[in-house]
Amino acid sequence: MPCDSTAIPSLSLWAAPRLSGLRIPADSAERARLLRGQSVQQVGPQGLLYVQQRELAVTSPKDGSVSILGSDDATTCHIVVLRHTGNGATCLTHCDGSDTKAEVPLIMNSIKSFSEHAECGRLEVHLVGGFSDDRQLSQKLTHQLLSEFDKQDDDIHLVTLCVTELNDREENENHFPIIYGIAVNIKTAEIYRASFQDRGPEEQLRAARALAGGPMISIYDAKTEQLRIGPCSWTPFPHVDFWLQQDDKQILENLSTSPLAEPPHFVDHIRSTLMFLKKFPSPENILFPGNKALLYRKNKDGLWEKISPGN
């Protein structure tokens, strides 16, 4: 499929260099405006694959189990969707800037594994998240993602750019993200504002792996339609007892990149994750018997169900 030769506008918002590999449509600002103006949809667990921080998942419209990929609770983080328009293969990931240089090739390769034999179509990327935070962490991550996607050999079309200043609102001289979460419908390619009550399976285990410093990982095998967790390991979390003794204000101010902008459940989430890390300082043999991964698949009701060993 021929590519549009759209002129690339200046990204003076971030004083970024002029991009060469990324193609940015002239209507990207309008797309961001329309996305910001949407109401937030509550997404139920049926057919959903929820992606946590430092995770990615990729699948295609042929998937009989998963029809929606989604993630939320992004403040300074960015949610990235990369899609191949020829076969509909779609990757969603939640990036926090820990190792963007390694993560973007991982995202690219996850889509290429589906698209090797695609005869037409193009790669389209959507970047959502961040805001005008005091430490400029959002701005830094926006820079990193744009730069790394620009370095890729493939021609990539940046369709949605709703990040940092473009995703910012101000209230009483404090800044907040407008969009905290998005979902993508694998079948229709629709991307929309979303929030999620169900962030499983193994929500605490997955959150603990990220908080303990684990790298970006792929959590889903679309060929078997199974969600795969681990096996993973971590070193005991430093000063975990000290942090568990702190009040909410101290946890918020010290364990968040953006204390004023966090969702209401942030502190409870961090406390439960710290308690999990204290309970399992070395998870290998306890959480992953035989050093084997935990496997889940969707049941007939569209909900995740653990696969017993040998199934």
Residues 165-212 pLDDT 10s: 999 999 999 999 999 999 999 999 999 999 999 998 999 999 999 999
Instruction: Please report which confidence band the pLDDT of residue 20 belongs to, taking 50, 70 and 90 as the band edges.
Output: very low
- Distance separating alpha carbons of residues 298 and 309, to the nearest angstrom: 16
pLDDT, residue 302, reads 92
* Alpha helices (H) in the chain, listed in sequence order: 28-36, 100-115, 137-151, 203-211, 240-244, 248-255, 266-279, 284-287
What pLDDT is attached to residue 223? 94
pLDDT band at 41 (very low <50, low <70, confident <90, very high): very high
Long-range contacts, stretch 193-196, CB < 8 angstroms, 24+ apart = 193/35, 193/38, 193/39, 193/40, 193/41, 194/40, 194/41, 194/42, 194/43, 194/70, 194/72, 195/40, 195/41, 195/42, 195/43, 195/72, 196/42, 196/43, 196/48, 196/50, 196/70, 196/71, 196/72
Q: How far apart are CA 55 and CA 110, in angstroms?
A: 12
Predicted confidence band of residue 10 (pLDDT cuts 50, 70, 90): very low
* Statement: residue 137 has pLDDT above 80: yes
* 284-306: pLDDT as tens digits: 878 998 889 999 999 999 999 99
Can you give the pLDDT at residue 309? 59
